[in-house]
Amino acid sequence: MGLLDRGGARLTSRPEEAEILVVNTCSFIDTAKQESVDTILEMARYKTEGQAKKLIVAGCLVERYRDEIRKSIPEVDAVVGTGELESILDAAGIARTAVLAPSPFNILSGSAHTHVRTGQESLSGTHKSDLKGTGFSPYESVPTIQEGGLAPDISFRPEGDHRERQGRFSREDWQGATHLLPTYLYNEDTPRLISTGRTSAYIKIAEGCDHPCTFCVIPNLRGKFRSRRFESVVAEAQRLVASGVQEVTLIGQDTTCYGEDLGLKDGLAQLLDTLAGIEGLRWLRFLYAYPNRITGRLLETIATHDNICKYLDVPLQHAAPDVLKRMKRGAGAEIFLKTVEKVRAAVPGIALRTSFIVGFPGESLRDFEVLEEFITEAKFDWLGVFNYSDEEGSKAHALDSKLPRRTIEARKRRLMKLQQKISRKAKQQWVGRELVLLAEGESSETELLWEGRTQFHAPEIDGKVYINDFGDLRSLESGRFYKAAITEAHDYDVVARITSRAL
């Protein structure tokens, strides 16, 4: 988006207005692939029946089905994989030299929820009517557009090289996928367009993954783990904060490995320590943690800084040791309970989020019960459940004892019901507390309510805080922080009354 904007394209979220349609895709599980394909087909109609002249497909689906997409959907004019971001310019017919200009972030104007559809989305076009790229340039640097997308100082971990020799990243079974793994990493000078409002921004600190999880094809799609340079991340965060961003969420497939390829020990903790010192940064968080990489130093860092959100998302995937062994993740309920205990002791009041996969091949009823017992005991604040998706190219694809779909569905429902009970009880404890929240605008459900988030809610993932009383204030401003008293609790969401502006 940043490259296109810098190249002179004007973005619109209305596909009927666009001359160029870009569908950014996902393909790590079946439902994501289906959603991506449906969106491409939907956008193709704007080309055949509307005024769109070009259809570009970008992202992970391209890494997986590069040739297939071109063959099966002739309306597609170009594909852009995750390792060749700059070729979006060629695909759109914009000269690469057109983006060689000072490099501010452009933040899309509008509410915290902009009109740009994220995920599998259509964007880009020629009209500036609803999304004004309000350019402002607090710094004077020249973007480095890397030919071939390879950062000059990119490095990998020995684990990554080792796993590559073992075939971890192989795409041999994937017809139409290029054999070249992506190596791209953006840097602080890469143009960006922030689509998450003026207050919040994501920063990707690392790309790829070296873990051997047998159900997962993300490493095959995104390549070996590689960290962005420490200084690059810090520079980007400083600039974002200087331009008004107050919440930064660091992301990566595994942020807890950050810096290992750069020779840093406790790299994430060091990075958080430095970023927490940026004046004006109110909330800092990271997604996602790998369970055995949650170090004492990391927890101490979270506990020490007021502006590091007391929030940890650690996907555990399962709790039965047998299943975890076959997932090639190891550990089990007993070890995980100790981890949960350690985290809560080090950072009192921390909100814990996790996710599980149900229906992994060979998951017995007993395995499932072990998971239920673990969830009952651990009492996570937030929990997601995914159905096992049998992905070609994953090691689990070759396993026997696949479970019937209806068993998987039934198990998922059971877990969600269990978590609903746990969550309902936990949310009751919130009533009477005064918390700082970020107002996010009118509720999508009713204009009588506003929505907000506390430090215990990551953007767009967890429950909501509904605001039904503005207190002494006549109105609220989206993207601003307020103090609020929690007055009611529901299963996952709570209701709040604003008490004052947060300083």
Residues that bind ligand SF4 (CB under 6 A): 209, 211, 213, 216, 218-219, 253-254, 290
Nearer to ligand SF4, 314 or 486 (CB): 314
**Environment class of 129 (CB within 10 Å of its CB; exposed 0-12, middle 13-18, buried 19+):** exposed
Residue 416 exposed, middle or buried by CB count within 10 Å (0-12, 13-18, 19+): middle
Least gap, CB of 213 to ligand SF4 (angstroms): 3
> Buried b vs exposed e over 84-113: b needs ≥16 C-beta within 10 Å?
bbbbbbebbebeeeebeeebbbbbbebebb
Query: How far is 461 from 155, CA to CA, in rounded Å?
Result: 32
Contact call for residues 438 and 452 (beta carbons, < 8 A): yes
Nearer to ligand SF4, 217 or 340 (CB): 217
CB of residue 241 vs ligand SF4: minimum separation in angstroms?
29
Q: 194 or 371, CB closer to ligand SF4?
A: 371
CB of 125 to ligand SF4, least distance (A): 33
Question: What phi, psi does 324 have (nearest 5°)?
Answer: -60, -35
Nearer to ligand SF4, 205 or 213 (CB): 213
Nearer to ligand SF4, 46 or 258 (CB): 258
Q: Which residues pair with 466 in a beta bridge?
A: 451, 495
Closer of 28 and 65 to ligand SF4 (Cβ): 28
Comparison of 290 and 311: residue with beta carbon closer to ligand SF4: 290
Distance CA 382, CA 16 (A): 38
CB closer to ligand SF4, 211 vs 228:
211
Alpha helices in 363-490 (DSSP H): 365-378, 405-428
Backbone angles phi, psi at 4, to 5 degrees: -65, -40
CB of 163 to ligand SF4, least distance (A): 10
In the complex, least distance from residue 473 CB atom to ligand SF4, rounded to whole angstroms: 42
Write out the H or E segment, with its range, that includes residue 204.
strand 200-204
Closest among 188, 184, 168, 202 to 239, alpha carbons compared: 188
Shortest distance in whole angstroms from residue 395 CB to ligand SF4: 10
Q: How far is the CB of 218 from ligand SF4 (least distance, A)?
A: 4
* Closer of 207 and 440 to ligand SF4 (Cβ): 207
- Return d(Cα 27, Cα 222) in angstroms, integer: 11
Q: Are 230 and 40 in contact (CB under 8 A)?
A: no
Minimum gap (Å) between residue 216 Cβ and ligand SF4: 3
Q: How far is the CB of 223 from ligand SF4 (least distance, A)?
A: 11
Nearer to ligand SF4, 360 or 382 (CB): 360
| DSSP state, residue 291 | G
Q: 194: which strand partners?
A: 107
Distance in Å, CB of 315 to ligand SF4, minimum: 7
DSSP string, 56-103: EEEEHHHHHHHHHHHHH-TT--EEE-TT-TTHHHHHHT--GGGG-S--
